[in-house]
Structures are given as C-alpha cells and as structure tokens.
Amino acid sequence: MDSITNLLLSSFLCSILVVSTTAVNRISTTQSIKDGDTIVSIGGSFALGFFSPGSSKKRYIGIWYNKISNDSRTVVWVANRETPVTDSSGVLMVTQQGVLVLLNSTESIILSSNLTKPGKTPVAELLDSGNFVLRNADDDNPQNYLWQSFDHPTDTFLPGMKFGINYKTGLDMILRSWQSSDDPAQGDYTYSMDSHGFPQYFIRKDTVKVFRSGPWNGVRFSGMPTISSNPIYNFTFVMNQNETYFNYNLLDSSVVSRMVLNQDGVQRRMTWKEGSSTSWIEHLTTEMTNCDTLAFCGPYGLCTVSNSPECGCLQLFEPKFPKDWGTDWSNGCVRRTPLNCSGVNGDKFWKYSGVKVPDTENSWFSVSMTLKECETMCLKNCSCMAYANLDVRGEGSGCLLWFDELVDIRVIKNGQDLYVRMDASEFVLGQAGHNWNKAKTIIVILVVSTATLILGLAISLYIWKEWQKREGKTIGHPEQGYYKESKNEDIELPLFHLVTITKATDNFAIDNKLGEGGFGPVYKGMLEGGQEIAVKLLSKDSKQGVDEFKNEVICIAKLQHRNLVKLLGYCIQGEERMLIYEFMPNNNLDSFIFDQSQKMLLDWPKRFHIINGIARGLLYLHQDSRLRIIHRDLKGSNILLDHEMNPKISDFGLARIFEANETQANTRRVVGTYGYMSPEYAVEGLFSVKSDVFSFGVLVLEIVSGNRNRGFYHQDHHLNLLGHAWRLYKEDRTRELIDEPLQDSCNLPEVLRSIQVGLLCVQQRPEDRPNMASVVLMLGGEGALTHPKQPGFFTERNLLEAESTGSNFEQCSANTISTTVVEAR
C-alpha cells in the first residue's frame, strides 16, 4: 500500500466507529473491528474477530463456528496467517476505495486485500455461509462482490465454496495446511486442482505430488470412492470455458460439515450435528494406505490394498526389473509383448474393471464421442495407450484418452473400466485357451510373416531412397503423415506436404507475412478446412540447423498447456523445413507493450493476466511437464497472444531438455537475446531453471513499465531498466516505474507486488532467485515478500558496447580457462 493510501487511512482514523458488540454482521468505511470485538453472521452460524491459536500469543483475524457450544473455536479461515499481530493493537477496517486492511499499533498496514473492481459504497459483511465479502452497500449480488474470502481459502473447504480454477480471472483456489495447531502459517501441504489434461486434484508436500483424486467420472472422482449420494450433502462438478470447480451444499440444516486439509497432509470431512454431545465426527479421509500414495506401484503397476504386498502388475504385464520387484516397485511394469502399432489390426485393447483410472496429466477428452468412437480414435494414434468413458452414468458416454505411461492405477470400490492398448497376439493366446500348441504355431506364423514383411519393406524403402538420391529428388509425403524420431524419442505429429503449406499461405505471399522470427520469417495461412495457421519457415541462412529444428519439434510435441503455443505439425521437403503452429491473432507481447498506441489497449488486469499466464507456463516447463525444459530465450517477442489476450510461450528452438536429476548445465555455445540472459549464462555458460526465472523477471519489469530493458534511457543516469527499477525500489519511489496508461486501471498493491517479484527474479545470484512455483504463489498474494538484492547486469554497459561491434563475440568465463561463444539476437 503506498504512502498516499496511508495518508487517506490516517485522515479518517479519528472518525472510525469501533464495533463493540456482536449484534452486527458488517462494517462500513466508518467502522472497524478492534482486538476483542467480533461480528457475527446474521443467522449466528459464524463469528469473525481476533484470536490466538493454541498456546500462541500472536493475534490473527479469523472466522470460526459460533453456534457449536462444545467446540473449542474451530477456525475455518485466517486472514493474516503469514503476518500476525504481535500484540492486541490490531484493527481491521475498510478503506473508501473498498480495500480491506489490517493495521497494527503504529498504524502500519500489515495486510490488504486484492481488489478485483473499484467500490463505491463498500461494506464488509460476514455471511451465514462463513464467507466474508466486500461489496457495495446497495448491491448484494454475489456476481458483483468486490472481494470474498471464499476465493482465498486457508485449510478449510466449506459448503457453497467453489474449489477449482476460474480461467477468466486466473483465480486458483488452493487449500494450504496449517504449520501446526499453534501456527496457522502455510504448512507443508497444499490441495488444488490441476487442469493439465482432464482436470483432477492433487495433494502436494511442498512441490511433490503425494495424492491424486483421479478425474471426475460423472458420479465421483475416480480415486475417491467414498464420495457418494447421501442425506447430508449433495455435490456438483462444473467444467466450462470460464471455470472448473467442485462444490457441495448441505441438505440437512441441523448438520454442520467442513472439509479440511490437516497438517499431516490428510484431507478429512468432518461433521457435527445440532444437539450432539460429541465433538466433530470424521467421515472421509485420503491417503490412508500405500495405494493412496501417488504412483506407489510405478508405471502399469496395479495396487490392491487387500494384497500383500500391495503392488502387482496389470494383467499381461510383467515387472520391468524382476530382481528388484518385491522391495522397490517404483520402476513399475512393462508389457510382456511389446506393441507393434502396425495399423488398425496391429493392436487391441484389454479391459480392466473396477479400477481408479490413471493420471490424466497427458490426456485428451471429448464429451460427445461414444466408447466405440473413442476406441477407433485411440487405435489411429500409436501414442494413445488407453481409453475410458468420460462419464460412467448409465451405459457410459464421452471419451478420455491417455498419451503416456499409465501410472497410479489401483483396485478400488466403485471403480470403472479402463481399456489398455495391447499387442494383438495377446488376444490370440487368450482365444486359443487350452490349445497352447496351436497358439504357439499361430504366434510363430505371425512373427515369421511379420518379420518377412518388415524385412521386405525395409529393403524396398532402402532401394527407393538410394534411387531418389541418385535422381536428385526430394523425399516427401503426398498427404499428412507422421514424424517419428525412433532412436530416443517417440513423437508423432502431422506431416504436411509443401504443396499444402504453399496453398495455405498463397505461395508465401508478402501480405501474409507476420514477421521475422529468430530463425526465419513467419507467415499466416489457412488450411482447406478453414483453420488458421502460422508457418515458421526456417531461413536457409539461419544458424538453426537440423538439430535445433528437431529440438523444437521434440520439445513442443510433448507439451500441452494453455500457456504454451500449440504445434500442429511440420514439413520437411528438400532443404525446406517448416513448423506449423496455431495462429495467434494478437501477434506477440512486444507489439503491444512497446507500441505507444497499442499499449493503451493493455490495462493492468490484462497485463497482470499475461504475467500470471507466463509464470504458469514456465512452471509447467520447469516442474509439471513430463520433461524438465529450460527455454533459454524467454522474451516478449516469444510470448504470443490469442484472441482473448491469453499469453502462450513460443519458440523452443533453443530450449534444453533436462534429465530428472539435472539441476544445471554448462555450454560453450551461449545462445539467447541480450537484455534477457542471466549473468551466469551470458558470462560462464551456466544455465538452469533460474536462468529462465531471470528472463521472466526482466519481462515483468518491461510489462509494468512499458519500456525495454535494452536501450532504456533516463536523463538522470545511464542505468538499464533493471538498474532504474532497483534505484526506485531502494528510494521507495517504485510507483514511478509504472507505465502511464496504467495509472487509472491499476490495483496499486498488486502492481507494486509484481515489481518486487520481478526484482526478486533478476537478482545477481541464481540461488537468491525464487523458483517459478514460489513466483506463482507470490503473484497470487501469498505470504510476505523478501527484499530483493542487487540485480544482475546492473548497467549492461559492457554488453552494449560489445553489441555495437557485432552480434558474435567471445567473452572469457569467470575461471579464465575456457571461452564461450555468444550468439546474440
């Protein structure tokens, strides 16, 4: 909160009326809540005020049950869980602007709410649902709330609360456990929705996933069989283009119910019945057995609680490492007969019943397809490993496909059917039944016939290729096919013929040129079906060779996230190499923030939405995707914007795939863009996830200020944008960094927080920079921020001087032993 707001607050503190009784359920801008005072919801169900948990002496603003006489103050929400008041001087109040603030004895603001829209006559009201809301006094429509505690839960999920993600606002509701019974600060565990693939919920310990709910199957979450119809509450799962969430509502008004994430990482449903002599009764738990632990039995393993040991392999699978099986199940199982994927008749599907379906992170779904259509679609794609009904009600409907190893499968009550891809020979064996010799004969015939056919095709293909080379012709494909890098990668993408792309772009007409990328021009096109595409044409003079081209194909083909650009296919014909992407109608981020007219279209909510989207995309690359990927060239021109201004990270030609145990790497060939490269990468060739974090920090400061880091000019000094932002921060003049068009639309605390996060990301030492998981939390307003240290490349004077002599130069590394070639863009 800035100094002007502090002045506004102090100017009317003297006129504040203190709430001194529990007869009211709201406060206005002329009232406040002091320590010792409470407000009570209109039906008397909940109270709000200051409290001290357990044996702690610290004071917190919280909401607790008011009617349960034998309850020792069960707190369901805490406002200042990370910033307690150390004495009884705390005051909670509402400003004229509609911001909820908590003051201490020095009248310093230690907590303020993020305002989603400006208020006219704001009041803060405690509802009988336990929701604490900010609204205009004359408008009680929930759609028009200025702010509500239900959007920012702590460890408790209450009836009526939406638990999920709002795609329009970017709001992600997350339950976070208490540190201990004496400390409501965020503990080790979180519980939240993951929308990669088909949505599901995860409990994480720090950043490690430890429990998975499974996808919603129309009746319940696949991995939570105890959620079923009951007389106490009903529940719904909503998924549309605006939001995805789960909620529940009580049917019996005499029953109080809550779901809480405990300090041990267990999610429990608790109930209390009016007139009951007992305390809370526990009804639902998660993670009670090894089988509830995520991927306990490894890929294609099947966990069964009643077995000893619990882990086995799916039928027709065998342990990957038999010698270790029985002591270590993490490596899982493999098919006893490998897949051949030789066409529609090459593979079939084996039905497994009564199971929790696998992790849906790498999945695809359709609500309209039948199960037969689902099977046909899966057969056509060699990467599709299994399918199931999306909705199990009645005869079943919808389609859910899996495109990766199947993990976290268990036998479960009220489980569903899962169809897993198997080699057709396994079904021959099954049909042979008691006649094993006949089955062996069939297998031998199939193997010999297949081998002969493959050998013949291989020889024919070799002869044809050699003939093509002698004739000087190119090897192409008449229609769309599939690209497969079979040595170490298994990637399948549509292959487009050059004729198709030429027709789509009107023979690469100049009117269709969208711009010039780092490695060549980009053209707009339209396929015959009406789909708009962007074609990245690799320049013949480009330094991106076959390796970089393959790298971009491999990286993007395996990534699916709403904040990453989608690769539709590729084209290789002769010397021509092209990548075909989804078309982004709003071009790139640079075209908006650095254009004086275009930047007027980007108010602060849009810019903050873009910042959060980039952060989530990077978090996926660094942590949540099945590959750990370092982008190495994150900048505004590589952030594309769709028709709703959603950001999508693009251009993976320089990206580097890390192994699971890799944390950093070194290279003699430093590639990237001046102004965005981290110091350790540009100088020493060292790169890691923290290199991308540095680039992200530069982007944040550019988005907020509307100025480029490179070429930044200020009449008072010769610092670059990072140095300028750092100077303003140290002098408590941070608001001067804000781009002028944002003055009327910005949420000042949110903007200032974003600037501080940006400065934390560009600190000199990589170990001082936060990871992207922390960045996402900080941008969401979680916890107090630390003070940043001096940024890297404080002035960039040496780099700018070097740039003026040419784009390539050699710079000695810190140990002066080796040199690093820098290819700047």
Task: For residues 312-334, give the mean pLDDT.
Answer: 92
Q: Is the pLDDT of residue 343 over 70?
A: no
pLDDT of residue 616: 93
pLDDT of residue 12: 42
Is-catalytic flag, 633?
Answer: yes
pLDDT of residue 281: 80
How deeply is 687 buried, as exposed, middle or buried, from its count of CB atoms within 10 A (0-12, 13-18, 19+)?
buried
More confident residue, 487 or 325: 325
DSSP-derived 3-state class of residue 372: helix
Q: Is the pLDDT of residue 390 over 60?
A: yes
Catalytic residue among 151, 633, 651, 739: 633
| Report field, pTM of the whole predicted structure over 0.85 | no
Please give the DSSP secondary-structure letter assigned to residue 157. Answer: E
d(CA 522, CA 511): 11
More confident residue, 149 or 795: 149
pLDDT of residue 572: 80
- Sorted by where each begins, the domain ranges of the chain are 1-152, 157-288, 291-431, 433-471, 481-582, 590-824
- Hey, CA dihedral for 199, 200, 203, 208, is it positive or negative? negative
Task: For residues 73-77, give the mean pLDDT.
Answer: 93
DSSP-derived 3-state class of residue 756: helix
For β-strands 669-672 and 819-824, DSSP reports them as: parallel
Q: What's the one-letter identity of residue 89?
A: S
Confidence of residue 70 (pLDDT cuts 50, 70, 90): low
Confidence of residue 673 (pLDDT cuts 50, 70, 90): confident
Q: What's the one-letter identity of residue 238?
A: V
pLDDT of residue 9: 45
Q: Is the pLDDT of residue 284 over 70?
A: no
Q: What's the one-letter identity of residue 825?
A: R
pLDDT of residue 475: 29
Q: What is the CATH number of domain 1-152?
A: 2.90.10.10
Tokens 């790139």, residue located: 588
What is the percentage of the chain residues whose pLDDT exceeds 70?
Answer: 80
pLDDT of residue 478: 29
Task: For residues 520-530, give the mean pLDDT.
Answer: 88
Q: With CA atoms as reference, report the closest residue to 515 among 499, 537, 530.
A: 537
The three-state (H, E, C) secondary structure of 772-820, written as one string: HHHHHHHHCCCCCCCCCCCECCCCCHHHHHHHHCCCEEEEECCCCCCEE
Contact 3, 103 (CB under 8 A): no
User: Can you name the residues that pair with 524 across neighbouring β-strands?
Assistant: 534
- CATH topology for 481-582 is Phosphorylase Kinase; domain 1 (3.30.200)
- CATH topology for 590-824 is Transferase(Phosphotransferase); domain 1 (1.10.510)
pLDDT of residue 798: 41
Q: Is the pLDDT of residue 467 over 80?
A: no
Q: Is the pLDDT of residue 443 over 70?
A: no
d(CA 642, CA 638): 13
Summarize pLDDT for 363-382 with one digit per residue, the tens.
Answer: 999 999 999 999 999 988 88
More confident residue, 637 or 428: 637
